[in-house]
Amino acid sequence: EELSFAADEWCEVERNTLRNADSKSLKLDGLSSALESSLTGIHLVGDKDTIADICVLVTLSKFAADSATWPAAVQKYYKCHSTALDRARAAIGNYCPAPPIDLKTNPSLNKVLTAIFSEIVEEIAPDFTLPKSIIKKCDSPKHGDYQCSVTMPAFASIKKSGKPMPPGVNGPPQLAQVIVDKVGAGHPVIESMKIQGPGFIMCKISAAYLQGHIETIMSNKSLPRPVIDGPQQTCLVDFSSPNIAKEMHVGHLRSTIIGEAVCRILEFVGFKVERVNHVGDWGTQFGMLIQYLKEEFPDFANSMPNITDLTAFYKAAKERFDDDADFKKTAQLNVVKLQSGDAECIEIWKLLCDVSRKEFQKVYDRLDVTVEEYGESFYNDKIPPVIEEFQKAGLLSIEEGGAKCVFVENYKVPLMLQKSDGGFGYDSTDMAALKYRLHTVKAQRIIAITDYTQGDHFAMCNRAAHDIGWVDNGQVLQHIGFGTVQGEDGKRFKTRSGTTVRLVDLLDEAVRRMEASLNDRIAGGKANVTPEEVPEVAEAVGYGAVKYFDLRRNPTSNYKFSYDAMLDTKGNTAVYLLYARVRFESIMRKAKAEFDCDVDE
């Protein structure tokens, strides 16, 4: 606390004495006497750099040209840190003022760089038609931030036209050098450029330019939104997708959390987002579930069955199906009845769906997830026309036994649009869903978010959609595959008994542990919350910790789930970030209340 107070005092000296001075009338007397009386080493406070040193030294550096006129103590202090200041300048880029930023348009870096290079290329080759895209992010940060690929087509265009090349240019690399020279050193947006390969220009963005954006954003109450060229586009995101009559488990955690994050990002940048929950609400398993419900709850039509544990209900039905031949036969007949539209079977099926939806919604509410259900059954009547369309296009293969399949390039196993017994499976449903999303929803981008093991399946579906001509120019089909949530042993995260962890139990445990931590901190006088506030705070922090623990990682990577690491108050965790945010808010309130200092200004 004493260290922080002393650093605050020096920051006040910097703010009141130095910051508002100009280079010719720098008021250093107070600083000089303070340095002479208190400086025992090369640091203002303690034995290492603090925020006080940073504030004072950065402000002094603005007037370094007049350093010969400074008092001896100030000169000595500044000289001790001059090397570190030089390194800092190199790290953050030059101090060129950033171009003015229009928050209404807020052009992306891609657009800014495109404009810079387009203007130069048009000057060099006025007859050259620029490609639609000349800028992309570098594959590796070690090469730079962005890559410009305009040089090769521009060189080819000039050569084809027969017009003279710029002096010294006999290939794309030399033309790239001409472009780099015209951009010039010290550009307010581009810190540095280098030429690689056949003429790629690798660009590193100026930290000062980025800082200008951040400062502009921080000084405005509303965040800017990147503008998407042209009319608003629709993006359909397929995520979460649990199965009816089964509880959500830890396997649904990543799809749900990542999917919600993807939707929010797309909405923020201007897409119209369709959030689709492709629930598993159809299939042969419903025959046994219908029969089990009829036997266990014979009065289901008049009294709503009290099914609170879907996992136990499903498990009991499966045991009867495996052990009782008569039950199994009746269950199989129920499947036929359900697919034929039998009124009683449809009623029970709807009841099971409703019970499941209520349980799913409890999880979505806790995680603040919004999703709209379009289950597998929604596409039942759309499957036969899709099969017929593939047959007319000559893309359907009738295999031994009568199965109707579609083979796609580079895959030995086909998509099975209809089984040999006439039934439909995942391939059938997903192809019907894909056509509906492309032609009826008219989504410009479709993103499916599932575990990585389904990557080949979606690649085959997307390839088949291209082969039959469903995909227009500009429409994008994408699969985001994520890794496995593992236990401390590196295997799939399970309970001690070896069963799959229910998602609701995982969330409950996160909240329980957070409550215990908060109560311990209250008992030790380390938490500024009341016992009455603990449940609400524990939920907010616990759920946030679960989300952040997942989202901070590369989606494709597996990760080990650890409550201790997730709820750690130090390091890269939601708990630490939330604590830091609250501390910042407290400092700003204190600054306003005690010093009449509005930080937002």
Contacts of 274 (CB under 8 A, 6+ apart): 234, 235, 236, 237, 372, 441, 443
Could you tell me the pLDDT band of residue 391, with boundaries at 50, 70 and 90? very high
DSSP 8-state assignment for residue 168? T
Which percentage of the chain shows pLDDT scores above 70?
85
Residues recorded for the chain: 601
Residue type, 414: P
Q: What is the pLDDT of residues 324-373, one digit of tens each?
A: 999 999 999 998 899 888 999 999 999 899 989 999 999 999 999 999 99
Ranking 23-27, 28-32, 41-45, 500-504 by mean pLDDT, the lowest is 23-27
SS3 label, residue 67: helix
Q: What is the pLDDT of residues 331-344, one digit of tens each?
A: 999 988 998 889 99
All domains in the chain, ordered by first residue: 2-92 (1.20.1050), 109-213 (3.30.1360.70), 503-595 (no CATH)
Helices (H), 188-299: 207-218, 253-268, 285-296
For the cut 50, the answer to whether the pLDDT of residue 112 exceeds it is yes
The Cα 206–Cα 190 span in angstroms is 5
- Count of beta carbons in the 10 Å neighbourhood of residue 207: 15
Calculate mean pLDDT across residues 588-595. Answer: 80
Chain mean pLDDT for the chain: 85
Q: What is the dihedral of CA 85, 87, 92, 93, to 10 degrees?
A: 100
Contacts of 553 (CB under 8 A, 6+ apart): 559
Ranking 37-46, 76-85, 125-134, 393-402 by mean pLDDT, the lowest is 37-46
The Cα 225–Cα 439 span in angstroms is 29
Q: Which residue has the tokens 């605050």?
A: 8
pLDDT at 145: 93
pLDDT at 318: 93
Concatenating the DSSP letter of every residue in 380-424 gives GGGHHHHHHHHHHTT--EE-TTS-EEE--TT-SSPEEEE-TTS--
pLDDT at 508: 94
Ranking 27-36, 442-451, 586-595 by mean pLDDT, the lowest is 27-36
SS3 label, residue 236: strand
Q: Where is mean pLDDT largest: 72-76, 277-281, 485-489?
A: 277-281
pLDDT at 2: 45
For the cut 50, the answer to whether the pLDDT of residue 434 exceeds it is yes
pLDDT at 7: 73
The Cα 95–Cα 208 span in angstroms is 6
Calculate mean pLDDT across residues 552-559. Answer: 88
Q: How far, in whole angstroms, is CA 31 from its chain's centroid?
A: 47
Collect contacts of 395-403 with beta carbons under 8 A, ≥24 apart: 395/464, 395/467, 395/468
For the cut 80, the answer to whether the pLDDT of residue 246 exceeds it is yes
Instruction: Of 449, 530, 452, give the one whose Cα is nearest residue 484.
Output: 452
SS3 label, residue 1: coil
pTM: 0.70
Name beta bridge partners: 194: 202
Phi, psi of 279 (to 5 degrees): -70, 150
Alpha-carbon separation of residue 343 from 285, 325, 332 (angstroms): 18, 25, 16
Contacts of 492 (CB under 8 A, 6+ apart): 484, 485, 486
CA atoms within 13 A on the CB side of 314: 15
Pairing outcome for strands 415-418 and 445-451: unpaired
Contacts of 235 (CB under 8 A, 6+ apart): 266, 271, 272, 273, 274, 443, 444, 445, 446, 447
The Cα 206–Cα 204 span in angstroms is 7
Q: Which residue has the tokens 């402000």?
A: 59
Q: Which residue has the tokens 């130090």?
A: 570
For the cut 70, the answer to whether the pLDDT of residue 267 exceeds it is yes
Token reading at 259: 């999917």
Concatenating the DSSP letter of every residue in 511-561 gives HHHHHHHHHHHHHTT---S-GGGHHHHHHHHHHHHHHHHHHTS-TTS-EE-
